[in-house]
Structure 1
């Protein structure tokens, strides 16, 4: 059953194109059910690249069973202008991440948690992370935005990760922005 929120979103990966968010969620559930006593990290992050006449934003969704594989997909958004202001671009990256994170409603998160719940005593885990393509280092141009962006992700009840631990944004999504 399609929900109205699914109509504006199209996700893809190397195997499939034009996935709705509901289909993405189903793939995540199937991946987790294949090994319910795994250590799962659900990670969402966005990166951008300024091109000649547009700015390309890629949001990655990655479900990782640590040491036992991943399932991942991306969503592409194109802004038809060069976004030259770093704060504006970082802020939009995070807004796109927040948009996807918000689609993982309490109801959907509870479905995912219920998969690992019977296996907690065997070591099963589930965490959700928001990967932000910024770094705190003194020489990093984005360091002045760390507090603001981390606070935004934390307010959604998601664990924030910044560089070098924000690999969904800085590595996976980045690969598709070129």
Structure 2
């Protein structure tokens, strides 16, 4: 009976914690954002505080990475998929190393467009906060590539925090 009570208490504690989803990719901006979040929300005793941390990496599909290429494109897809899997594994390993002192962390790699993947993660984990890094693209590049942070601010059903990497003075 004591084990059931302890389990119920652990579940209630997990539910009482707010959930923060952090979107990461292979960029320096992304890892700066993760480090900033860790330093401001997950430092100190117990390294977890009031938040449960969910780190999400959106892995592009091989076909989206290759694009609509001509004949022979299908031949390279297995190689592209293999590279994307290795890249995703590196991203998650780097995140795990940064988050090693945080007690309550979930890591997830989801195939798809980052905008949709992050908004779906917010729903799946009932997130209170979504944090993303800002790549600092200009207006033209942002218009062509689309801004993940802009999309998420309009479509995620929670508070969205955009962490900008400061420009270094030379």
Which category describes the TM-score, using the shorter chain as reference length?
0.3 to 0.5
Q: TM-score, normalised by structure 2?
A: 0.36
Which protein has the bigger helix share? 2
Which protein has the bigger strand share? 1
Greater RCO, CA 8 A, separation 6+: 2
Q: TM-score, normalised by structure 1?
A: 0.34
